[in-house]
Amino acid sequence: MTQPTMRQVAERAGVSIALVSLVMREAPNVSDYRRQLVVDAAAELGYRPNVLARNLASRRTNTIGVVLNDLHNPFFAEIIDGLQNAADAAGHQVLIGNGRHSKAGESEMLETFLQFRVDGLVLVGSTASLSTIEAAAQITPLVAVGRTTRSKKFDTVNTDDKLGARLAVEHLLALGHSRIAHIDGGSGAGARARREGYAASMTTVGMADHISVARGDFSEIGGYKAARELLSRRQVPTAIFVANDLSAVGALDRAEEAGFCVPTDMSIVGYDNTSLAATHHLSLTTINQPREELGRLAFQSLLERLKSGRTAAVHRVVAPSLVKRRTSGPVHSREQAR
């Protein structure tokens, strides 16, 4: 159970420890002859470099830590996919830590990664306080994904949520809707920008008096409850723009339960374009966030700090797009007639 070390490999190969080190790091200027000796000896012994020792000595870990808060949300999984592809290509390892929806859990995870001396840190959908994040950013390059807070200490990567909201509203307007309501994401990441985007778009087209927002929390049940409230208001909307897909599912539920036929009587548009929205069964019209790209850009930001030593914060924004599916349609004539 005790693993062989370089020393043993060196002895077996009849060379110095330093040479073994060079071979392990695939350094140039090692003769093929000795390289082979070392490779063989290592194979025979089942030698495996000790990353701890290597990192300690080299003061680099070649590893970046990702702090996540919701393993259940496919949205995050796809960000990681993009991140990991980019990291792989650059020869970096990715380790994931679960903050588990709590600020305490998140900063604990942050601390763990700092203790591991990771080369960089990515926070996805973080709700940690600005000061916590800035403190960590002081120590190691850091980028936050999906956090609109601008800071000079760390980078961010975001979708233009205001634009996303506008796309949703304009889509519904084009279908003839005017009583367009919004179920928001409460204090969650990106909720505010989407809410503001919705309100701004409505105002722009002179429908400020149709603005109607119900509070949600990005969860399915939250969407359900918010929809229940909306549908019992005096002015029943003909369309609802919901702040994320999960909530949209809840809203859809409630609408159908209340006897509305979607999309005939009621159009619903979600946000994120998670795999959930794409299921045929749901086929939810939604706003796509380019998740893989978010992940890719996050890594790129880190790499820039790592390689070129950039220290000035960079804030990247990517564009969302509309994905039309089956939950949105032209406003019903009967409704229009009213």
The span from the CA of 244 to the CA of 260, in Å, is 20
User: Binding its own copies by CB under 8 A: which of 16, 116, 192, 228?
Assistant: 116
H or E stretch including 214? strand 213-214
Using CA atoms, how far apart are residues 238 and 31, in angstroms rounded to an integer? Answer: 75
- Quote the CA–CA distance of 76 and 63 in Å, as a whole number: 19
Tell me the pairing of strands 286-288 and 321-323.
antiparallel
Task: Give the integer Cα–Cα distance in Å for 127 and 192.
Answer: 14
Q: What are phi and psi of 278, to 5 degrees?
A: -80, -15
By CB under 8 A, residue 94 contacts its own copies:
yes
Based on the shown chain and the rule CB under 8 A, indicate whether residue 275 belongs to the binding site for its own copies: yes
| Helix, strand, coil content of the chain in percent (nearest 5) | 45, 15, 40
* Shortest CB 274 distance to its own copies, Å: 9
Of residues 61, 238, 267, 285, which one binds its own copies by CB under 8 A? 61
Residue 171 corresponds to which tokens in the numbers above? 């889509």
| The only residue of 17, 39, 77, 318 in contact with its own copies, by rule CB under 8 A | 77
User: Is residue 312 part of the contact set for its own copies (CB under 8 A)?
Assistant: no
Binding site residues, DNA, CB under 7 A: 2-3, 5-7, 15-19, 21-22, 24-25, 28-31, 33-34, 47, 49-50, 53-54, 56-60
Q: Does 228 bind its own copies (CB under 8 A)?
A: no
Q: How far is the CB of 128 from its own copies (least distance, A)?
A: 17
Among 71, 89, 104, 261, binds its own copies (CB under 8 A): 71
Does position 7 interact with its own copies (CB under 8 A)? The reply is no
* 114, 258, 318, 323: residue in contact with its own copies (rule CB under 8 A): 114
Measured over all CA atoms, what is the biggest interatomic distance in the chain, rounded to whole angstroms? 92
Q: What are phi and psi of 136, to 5 degrees?
A: -70, -40
**């429908």: which residue's tokens?**
207
249 in contact with its own copies (CB under 8 A): yes
What is the contact surface with its own copies in residues (CB under 8 A)? Answer: 1, 3, 48-53, 55-56, 61, 71-72, 74, 76-78, 80-81, 84, 93-98, 100, 111-112, 114-117, 138-139, 220, 224, 249-250, 252-253, 256-257, 275-276, 279-282
